[in-house]
Amino acid sequence: MAKLYFRYGTMNSGKSIEVLRTAHNYEEQGKGVLLFTPAIDDRYGTGTVASRIGMQKSAVIIDEHTDMYALAKAQKPHCVLIDECQFLNKAQVSQLTDICDDLDIPVIAYGLRSDFLGQLFEGSLHLFAIADKIEEIKTVCWYCNSKAVMNMRCKDGIPVFEGEQIQIGGNESYIPVCRKCYKSLKVKAGTRA
């Protein structure tokens, strides 16, 4: 039986390079891959999965009308990959389980666990609840050598602790930090930890 994998990490942990590496490994063996990315993530152009080191690949754009199940059923890939899966909604995560359970195609979803305030994204919440296998992609804190578990939002290099949950950005907007450094910077900013 095919499985649903949720591979999560902070910003800058290498999730997108892992998506691209996995797609390459399947394709190098002559196996088909169906690669999805949410329309909301347009940092490198809509419909593009890109890593900070310069690798990129075109992907099928997911929006509220995309039927990932129908596309997987029609294309019959060996694997379905999703980048930035935190932006999925509950119904879309359910489609991923149908791809695994009904079509026997493994699905690997890559994304953030939580936002800059430590709150779970909708897609991540539902993937944590129903994924067959959950794996962390690790990186280190920007300020110390501890494991990063938080995404620190910054504006002009200054930590920000309020705002909308979704703000698309890269290194100019987010850095990976450990919980201790996050809490310390939050106190310094005059916000309750």
pLDDT reading at 37 higher than 70? yes
Instruction: Note whether 88 and 170 are same-domain residues.
Output: no
| Dist. CA 120–CA 65, nearest whole Å | 23
Beta-ladder partners of 109: 6, 82
Please compute the mean of the pLDDT values over residues 66-82 and round it to a whole number.
Answer: 97
Q: Is 176 exposed, middle or buried (0-12, 13-18, 19+ CB in 10 A)?
A: buried
pLDDT at 169: 54
Instruction: Note whether 104 and 76 are same-domain residues.
Output: yes
Print the domain residue range for 179: 150-188
- Structural Rg of the chain based on CA atoms: 17
pLDDT at 6: 98
Question: Which active-site residues does the annotation give?
Answer: 84
pLDDT at 70: 97
Q: Which residue has the higher pLDDT, 164 or 7?
A: 7
Residue % of the chain over a pLDDT of 70: 89
Query: Which band of pLDDT confidence, cut at 50, 70 and 90, is reported for residue 79?
Result: very high
pLDDT reading at 175 higher than 60? yes
Total tally of structural domains belonging to the chain: 2
User: To the nearest whole number, what is the mean pLDDT of the chain?
Assistant: 89
Q: Which residue has the higher pLDDT, 169 or 95?
A: 95
| Dist. CA 84–CA 8, nearest whole Å | 9
CA atoms within 13 A on the CB side of 152: 24
Instruction: Note whether 12 and 67 are same-domain residues.
Output: yes
Whether 145 is covered by a domain: the verdict is no
Summarised one tens digit per residue, pLDDT across range 117-152 is 999 999 999 999 999 999 999 999 999 999 999 999
pLDDT reading at 27 higher than 80? yes
- Burial pattern 102-137, b for ≥16 Cβ within 10 A else e, equals ebebbbbbbbbbbbbeeeebebbebbeeebeeeeee
CATH code, 123: 3.40.50.300
Query: Which band of pLDDT confidence, cut at 50, 70 and 90, is reported for residue 99?
Result: very high
Listed residue (4, 168, 139, 132) closest to 80, CA to CA: 4
Can you tell me whether residue 90 is helix, strand or coil? helix
CATH code, 163: 3.30.60
User: Considering only 2-11, 30-39, 138-147, 150-159, which range has the smallest mean pLDDT?
Assistant: 150-159
Whether 94 is covered by a domain: the verdict is yes
